[in-house]
Structure formats: C-alpha cells, structure tokens
Amino acid sequence: MGQITLQGVQKSFGPVHIIKGADLDIADGSFVVFVGPSGCGKTTLLRLIAGLEDVSGGKILIDGKNVVDTPPAKRGLSMVFQSYALYPHMSVRGNIGFGLKMAGLAKDEINRKVEAAAATLNLSPYLDRKPRELSGGQRQRVAIGRAIVREPKAFLFDEPLSNLDAALRVQMRIEVTRLQKQLGTTAIYVTHDQVEAMTMADKIVVLNGGKIEQYGSPLELYERPANLFVAGFIGSPKMNFVTGELALQKGAATIGVRPEHLKIERDGGGGWQGTIAVAEHLGSDTFLYVDAGPLGMLTARYIGELSLHAGDRVSLVPDPQRIHRFDDGGNALRG
C-alpha cells in the first residue's frame, strides 16, 4: 500500500514561503509527476514527503497515518537522487543492500534480494564493482536498485535522469515507467522536463511559485488547462496567446490556441494574416514562426513537410473547437 495525502502542507525558510499550502491525493500504485519551472518548489515538496525537510504547517498522510513527526527512515519510502548519491566506498552489492543491512536482515536474505534486484536492472555482472567504475546509466540503475530492493510504499524520484545524455534519458524513461508498472508501487517523480512528465505520468501536478496550479492526467492538462500558466507550460511548442479585440469578441481577456490547432493556409484565406519569420523543417513536422502584426508572434505546427519559407505570407485559421478562453485573472473560462 502506498497512498499519500497532503493536507495544507506549508514550508517556509525564514520569511520565504516556498510551499504555500498544498493539498493532494495520490492513489496507491499511481505514477505522479511534479513538474514546474525551477524554483517552483517541486523538489522541496518531494523532500517534505521524504522527511528530509520538516513541514512548517499541514499534514502528510501515508496510508492514513500522519507522518510529519516521523523520521525519513520510518516512513517506508525510498528515494532516487539527482546526483545518484551512491556510497563511493561500497561495491554495487553494498550500495543496493545497505538499506536491508540497516533494517537488520540476515546476510543470505540480503544477498538473495540484492541479486534479484540486480537481475531486474541488468546489473548482475557489476555487483562487485565500485560506483566510480560504472557509467552514468549504470550508476543511475544502482540508485534505482537501492530504492526497489527495500520494497517501499512509494518511490520518490528527484530529477533522476537529468544527468544522463539525451538518448539514455529516453531509454531510462521507458525503463523506469515499465519497472513502476511491473512493481505496482506508488511513485512520485520530480522533473522540469514536460516531455518526461507527459510520457511517464498517470497524473501530473503542475507547480508554480509554491502553489499547485493543476492536478490531473496528462491529457486533461493538455485539453483543459485550468489557467494561463498551465496552458503555457504544458505542450511544446508553447500555446499561442492573443489578447485585445479578438479575445473580447470571444468573451475572454485572453484566448489561447495550440500551434497544432492552427490550420495553415496560403495568403488570401480567412483567419489571422502574417509573414513567416522563421520556418523549421523537421521532416516529420514543420514549425512556422509567424509575425502576425498586432497579434504578435504566432507559432504554427504542421504534421509533415510543408514547403513554405521565411518571407512567405500565410493565414492561420484556429480550430474553433480548440480555442481556450481565459478571464483577466488568467483562469480558464468553460462553456
């Protein structure tokens, strides 16, 4: 079991409020990603759950029990750090088995469990090596092995893939997701990479300035962003925002259209007129950055190749079903 509930959790460092009251319900077995720009409090929130920081207010419940006064070791969680944080003087075996040794398990049992974990992570040939003799990806696997071997109630991941190169990151992303599904253990994963968030999460928590902006499934966030921040943060390239007369006509202070929901037509059609400033041809996609005069710069995405170039005039027609409307407080207007 690993159900985690936050009730009005707050954290301040002196006069600085890092977390301004977070309420969250994380279901057992789900994969939840905390995402947000740097300094938004996502790592702090994770460390509060881990017990590495003390809360300034509120409750953290793990399986219904308030753990704010419980030391990290007694919370039954395990954590994977961004820096891997392996014990440099211990072998891979020692690293993975350390938690079990601290729990006072018999030597045979530790060995059996360490070897099983190592087999799951393809680490069996490296069990007697020291961390410095491993590559970055292998070190990351050892850190994950250390986390899974204890059969915790939940895994906490603090940007675990950010030190890996791009190709390895994609591979590890898939491995971590598969492992979590296979074990069925609750996972909380912190990242600033929205692609990681969208691909790995059952549910995403978008944080900004110490506040939870929205909590929902990746597609919910994409299709029904609660406010301007979430609308701009989720999705790549970023959503286009238009204010002024055009927005007022739709009864909103700001309207937003995603680049993939703008139909690109050659000049002369209806819609928003503009000149292409930059065209990016990726083969699979074409991105157009269009100077639309009073509307500002707009980004449009076309699936496939489109032979348009900088200087060409185009008109962009927004899909009327896919226009997001926001009031002057930045909150989404529905209906």
**Taking the complex as a whole, how short is the minimal distance between the CB of residue 188 and another protein, in angstroms?**
13
User: Is the Cβ of residue 72 or residue 136 nearer to another protein in the bound state?
Assistant: 72
**Taking the complex as a whole, how short is the minimal distance between the CB of residue 51 and another protein, in angstroms?**
8
Determine if 228 is a binding residue for another protein (CB under 8 A): no
Determine if 98 is a binding residue for another protein (CB under 8 A): yes
From 96-104, 121-129, 237-245, 307-315, span contacting another protein (CB under 8 A): 96-104
Determine if 73 is a binding residue for another protein (CB under 8 A): yes
From 26-34, 99-107, 191-199, 271-279, span contacting another protein (CB under 8 A): 99-107
Determine if 4 is a binding residue for another protein (CB under 8 A): no
**Taking the complex as a whole, how short is the minimal distance between the CB of residue 121 and another protein, in angstroms?**
17
Give the integer Cα–Cα distance in Å for 113 and 184: 18
Question: Between helices 107-120 and 92-102, what is the axis angle to 10°?
Answer: 130
Contacts with another protein, 101-140, as mask; x by CB under 8 A: -xx-------------------------------------
User: Is the Cβ of residue 154 or residue 228 nearer to another protein in the bound state?
Assistant: 154
Determine if 146 is a binding residue for another protein (CB under 8 A): yes
**Taking the complex as a whole, how short is the minimal distance between the CB of residue 103 and another protein, in angstroms?**
6
Torsion of CA 110, 111, 117, 118, to 10 degrees: 150
Count of residues interacting with another protein (CB under 8 A): 23
Determine if 77 is a binding residue for another protein (CB under 8 A): yes
From 5, 25, 52, 312, residue interacting with another protein (rule: CB under 8 A): 52
Determine if 72 is a binding residue for another protein (CB under 8 A): yes
Binding site for another protein (CB under 8 A): 50, 52, 71-74, 77-79, 81-83, 85-89, 98-99, 102-103, 146, 150
